[in-house]
Amino acid sequence: MKIDILTLFPEMFSALGESILGRAQKAGKIEINVVNIRDFTEDKHLKCDDYPFGGGAGMVMMPQPIGSAIDALDKDRKAHRIYLSPKGETLRQQKVFSLLAYEHLILLCGHYEGVDQRVIDLFIDEEISIGDYVLTGGELPAMVLVDCVSRYVDGVISTSSLVDESFSDGLLEYPQYTRPQEYRGLIVPPVLVSGDHAKVDEWRRKEALKLTKKMRPDLLKK
Ligand code: 4GX
């Protein structure tokens, strides 16, 4: 999968070079291309934002640099184009799975008061929000989306890590323990060191259900 990220702050995306996503890029499983919107401005002072028509606080990102960037990145118009915004549909695991159908994603990150509405009307296929809170820009939401989609691209992480995790069976994940067997007076549940795999499975299913009932009863109603 190829993901183009359009931003005025490309340096924020150095985080994607670390850990699992860094490895996946080096192995060619995913291609992440961070593009500076400013490189496409036709303004002699490289301006990319301006005051809002009608007045009000803050700045709005201008359409020309964004439109030119998207035209250059998606000449065959095959990419699925997403704007990260609190006005969008909330990102859930089902949406993550549906995005895997696309070979090419373009993620647009708005800063300040967002982008000129005509950018959304002309160039964007869907708006996605990562949750009901307001951030300073769409860069962190874009990284969240890249991270959770990339995990399911073939070869990025082992399939066994994907089957047990939270949400895969509609439940939150059971608690995990590692060495030592006793830490500051707390011991690992004995069943986990019993060697009885059937008992371990049963304990984990019970714990997952208990945890989901307590923390996310809404998940059980579905
Ligand atoms: N999930 N932000 C977008 C610019 C903006 C302002 C107003 C549209 C209207 C966010 C979120 C989020 C901050 C990204 C404001 N765009 N994005 N940005 N929550 O808070 O996705």
Q: Which two tokens stand for residue 74?
A: 């998606």
Q: How many helices (H) and strands (E) does the chain have?
A: 8, 9
Strand ranges, E, within 91-220 = 104-109, 126-129, 182-183, 186-187
CA dist 211 to 8, 176, 220, Å?
41, 13, 11
Going by alpha carbons, the residue nearest to atom 17 of ligand 1 is 85
Mean pLDDT for 192-214 is 97
Model pTM? 0.96
**Dmax of the chain from CA atoms?**
71
Question: According to the model, what pLDDT value does residue 162 have?
Answer: 86
Question: According to the model, what pLDDT value does residue 112 have?
Answer: 87
DSSP state of 188: P
Q: Which band of pLDDT confidence, cut at 50, 70 and 90, is reported for residue 3?
A: very high
Q: Which band of pLDDT confidence, cut at 50, 70 and 90, is reported for residue 193?
A: very high
Q: In whole angstroms, what is the distance from residue 137 CA to residue 128 CA?
A: 13
pLDDT higher than 90, residue 167? no
Q: Express as a percent the part of the chain with pLDDT over 70.
A: 99
Q: What are φ and ψ of residue 127, in 5° steps?
A: -105, 135
Number of the ligand 1 atom closest to the C-alpha atom of 113: 6
Q: Which band of pLDDT confidence, cut at 50, 70 and 90, is reported for residue 168?
A: low
Q: CA geometry: angle at 69 spanning 64 and 75, to 5°?
A: 120
Going by alpha carbons, the residue nearest to atom 18 of ligand 1 is 137
Annotated binding residue at 130? yes
- In tens, the pLDDT along 79-110 reads 999 999 999 999 999 999 999 999 999 999 99
pLDDT higher than 90, residue 222? no
Annotated binding residue at 133? yes
55 Cα to the center of ligand 1, angstroms: 19
Q: Residues lining ligand 1, CB < 6 A? A: 84-87, 110, 113-114, 129-131, 133-135, 137-138, 141
